[in-house]
Structure 1
Amino acid sequence: MSIDDLFAGAEERPARKSRWRWVTGALLAGLGTGIVYVLLRVEELTVSVPVLFLSFLALVTLRRVIASVGVPGRGERPARHVVRGEEPGTYNFTGGDGLRHAVGRWERVLNWSTEDAARFHRLTVPALRELADERLRQRHGVTIASDQRRARELLGDPLWTLLTAPPKRAPKPRQFASLVTRLEEL
């Protein structure tokens, strides 16, 4: 394909009815001028009619120029498809700090869990099990369900016990910290 092929259709432009476009634009500007002038006179304000007319003519012209450029309207814009894990290239100024939000959520869950054993077993243990499973899969090629013996060796008995048969009460903060450290070492 040559450059001549790319520009072959550029010379064939459809004929425009530019005269009628300017006439309708001037009529719209005149209508807007008349309405605003009457409203201003009701409020006993004065304005130069030619300046008002030229302002409306400029607005009509600006609208036409924008329409001719082909900027899509709100309804025509394609929906943004954001794939998880990839940034869309824009910054969400209202979103706040995502890391701070995630850490704060974990802090709240862990604080609640030290007070309520049922909540610890319902919220924290499944999340830790999912993390451990993912860590085992990525680094060692096994999961808790696929190879329990190997997973138990890698996790160690205290962490294995917490993830598979949670105790009646939540571990103390020091115990929990050592379990999390063990999980991080995987």
Structure 2
Amino acid sequence: MSIEELLTSAEERPPRKRRGWFLTLLAAAAGTSVTYFLLRASELTASIPVLFALFGALALLYRVTSSIPVPRRPERPDRPMPRGEEPGTYDWTGGDGLRRAVGRWERVLTWSTEDAERFRRLTTPALRELADERLRQRHGITIASDERRARELLGEQLWTLLTASPRRAPKPRQFASLVTRLEEL
């Protein structure tokens, strides 16, 4: 195939030559003979007319399906690029990983306000891990390495929440202030 043939459009190309029935029958016969000899080599038997009918049907199916023209895709106009600022809205229906993570935290915190045991089991360890990481990054200590300094930095309320097992979950407003304190570290 030449470069000129590659660069011509589909409308300018000459129509493909159709293969005759002889070539279809020849393909069926070739498939039949190869399959028959492979079956015989593995000590299996098959009827030659059945094999020929099978490969004939496959060749005929290929011939029919290849003769059907493929419909052209409709041309879609290019979408105009938005001008100026974005609308500022966020599509919450998308597969956003951050939204899923926030949703998971919302569920955990909602469950935790209703059930103190769940708060103790799920929320407190996560908050302690966050506090440890925050202390390590900003001050070079962890709760286990320097309890006195960590207690000073965290504050008495947050320290009590992280180290003692609370009997009940804090109220949402109190919890928000503790999280704010944790963020300020």
TM-score class normalised by the smaller sequence: 0.5 to 0.7
Task: Provide Cα deviations, 1:105-151, integer angstroms capped at 9, x if missing partner.
Answer: 10000000000001100100000000000010011000000000110
Task: Please state if 1:31 is matched with 2:31.
Answer: yes
CA distance in 1, matches of 2:110, 2:126: 15
1:152 to partner: Cα distance: 0.6
Hey, what does 1:168 align to over in structure 2?
167
Distance 1:101 1:29 in 2: 59
**What is the aligned partner in structure 1 of residue 147 from structure 2?**
148
Partner of 1:96: 95
Cα gap change, 1:29 to 1:119, in 2 (>3 Å) = farther
**Residue 142 of structure 2: SS of its match in structure 1?**
coil
Structure 2: which amino acid aligns with 1:173? P
Q: Choose 1 or 2 for highest CA Rg.
A: 2
Letter in 2 for 1:162: L
- Is 1:136 aligned to residue 135 of structure 2? yes
Q: TM-score, length-normalised on structure 1?
A: 0.53
Distance in 2 between residues matched to 1:98 and 1:29, nearest whole Å: 57
Tell me, in whole angstroms, the C-alpha distance in 2 between the residues paired with 1:29 and 1:179: 81
Aligned to 1:185: 184
- After TM superposition, give the deviation of residue 36 of structure 1 in Å: 4.2
Which residue identity does 2:138 align to in structure 1?
Answer: R
Shift of 1:100: 1.2
- 1:30-49 to structure 2, matched below 5 A, reads 30-31=30-31, 35-38=54-57
Percent identity reads 75
Give 1:28 shift.
8.2
Structure 2 unmatched runs, 5+: 1-25, 33-51, 67-93
> Which AA in structure 2 matches 1:37?
G
Structure 2 vs 1, CA of residues 185 and 35 (structure 1 numbering), >3 Å: closer, same or farther? same
CA contact (8 A) 2:135 2:150 kept: yes
Tell me, yes or no, if the aligned pair for 2:28 and 2:56 is still in contact at 8 Å.
no
1:158 alignment partner AA? Q
Query: Which aligned pairs between 1:43-58 and structure 2 lie closer than 5 A?
Result: 52=63
| Secondary structure of 2:165's aligned partner | coil
Change (3 A) 1:102 1:38: closer
User: How many pairs does the alignment contain?
Assistant: 113
Instruction: Work out the CA distance in 2 between the residues paired with 1:29 and 1:100.
Output: 61
Cα distance, 1:167 vs structure 2: 2.3
Q: Give per-residue Cα distances to partners, 1:65-121, cap 9 Å, x unaligned.
A: xxxxxxxxxxxxxxxxxxxxxxxxxxxxxx932111111110000000000001100
Instruction: Supply the AA of the counterpart residue of 1:176.
Output: F
Match of 1:157 in 2: 156
Note if contact 2:29-2:55 (Cα within 8 Å) is conserved in structure 1.
Answer: no
